[in-house]
Amino acid sequence: MSALGRLLPLAVATLLAGCAAAVAVPPPAAVEPGWTAAAAAVRPVGLGLPGGAVLDDDVDFAGGVELVADSDSPLHSLSDLKLLGDGTFLSVIDNGLLARGRLRLDDEGDLVGLEGLAVRPLTRSDGQPVVERSERDAESLAVLADGTLLVGFERDHRLWSYGPARRAAERPTPLTAPDFAFANNDGMEGVAARADGGWRVAGESGGVWDCRPVACTVVVPFPETPLPDSDYRITGMDRDPAGDGYFVVQRSFSPPVDARARVRRMAPDGSLGPVLVELKLPGTTDNFEGIAAVVRDGATRLYILSDDNNEPAQRTLLLAFDVRD
């Protein structure tokens, strides 16, 4: 969201940043054709000053890191992430790239680092990289029940299948998307796999749809008045691996500096449950847009990711939370 990048001042990021030194991310052991290793560093982050983060009684913080990259690095503007089951994650970058890496956990299972970062271009059906701003704005992704990688784009609103997630085909094919005229920069921010092989879509300004290869059906109608930036809008979604619902991350922004995030459950009928995680000043907060959910040690592990908009006043944060059902 560009407004947040323009208005959130450097002073806020400096206030919230920890004093820990950044540690280089170990590079990939091998780089497959089409991928390029990407250098970066990480530093640990907590939940910030008291009075900021509010966690439900059944939620525990499980570590966090800030991804630190040079200004000309491709590792900026990460917009969503999903996990592949072995600690490998995929992320889309809203200038037309796909990123991947591995999570590093300590002996207690807390998130302490990343390793093996690499990027590759997202491509069109002809195999050529997406280059125009209107076609490269990747904002969401999901790994479907059969392992297919789905990427959602806005501006030119569409869903594309890149085939098996671990290989990411060079010639994507279109998938069914909601028949709705999304606003230019308020598109399909939340996409999640459904247990039946389909996919669920949430619009940033409202509306929820369930999709199959033949059509999408409305779950929650788009509101008469689109949700404003100051409301909590869905910016990421993943299926609950331990149930029949979903987890969503929501973002709220009110100028000049009030950026907030919430994590909630979404029921199959699209209704939202109580707030599980709330992030706000004076604690750690930023432009959170991505979420991934996996089962770990009898709990549900959630990872949420912030998009720094390639702005020095923002940070790329990856935070982990355990939800005890």
How far is the C-alpha of 2 from the C-alpha of 324, rounded, in Å? 35
Query: Exposure of 267 by Cβ count < 10 A (0-12 exposed, 13-18 middle, 19+ buried)?
Result: middle
Quote the CA–CA distance of 81 and 21 in Å, as a whole number. 25
Q: Please list, residue by residue across 270-304, b when 16 or more beta carbons sit within 10 angstroms of its beta carbon and e when fewer do.
A: bebeebbbbbbbebbbbbbbbbbbbeeeebbbbbb
Evaluate whether 245 touches 237 at the Cβ level (below 8 Å).
no
Helix (H, G, I), strand (E, B) or coil at 272: strand
Within a 10 A sphere around the Cβ of 319, how many other Cβ atoms? 27
Q: Chain centroid to CA 53: how far?
A: 19
CATH architecture type of domain 2-266+277-296+308-323: 6 Propeller (2.120)
State the residue for tokens 């089409």: 34
pLDDT tens for the 325 residues of the chain, in order: 444 443 443 334 444 444 589 999 999 999 999 999 999 999 999 999 999 999 999 999 999 999 999 999 999 999 999 999 889 999 999 999 999 999 999 999 999 999 999 999 999 999 999 999 889 999 999 999 999 999 999 999 999 999 999 888 899 999 999 999 999 889 999 999 999 999 999 999 999 999 999 999 999 999 999 999 999 999 999 999 998 999 999 999 998 889 999 999 999 999 999 999 999 999 999 999 999 999 999 899 999 999 999 999 999 999 999 999 7
Q: Where are the domains of the chain?
A: 2-266+277-296+308-323
Which residue matches tokens 């549900």?
Answer: 300
b/e sequence 182-219, b meaning 16+ C-beta within 10 Å: beeebbbbbbbbbeeebbbbbbbbbbbbbbeeeebeeb
- Beta strand 111-121 with 97-105: parallel, antiparallel or unpaired? antiparallel
Q: Distance between CA atoms of 138 and 322, rounded to whole angstroms? A: 28
Say how far apart CA 275 and CA 56 lie, in whole Å. 7
Report the predicted TM-score, pTM, of the whole model to 2 decimal places: 0.94
14 by Cβ neighbours in 10 Å (0-12 / 13-18 / 19+) ranks as exposed
- From the CB of residue 50, how many other CB atoms can be counted at a distance below 10 Å? 8
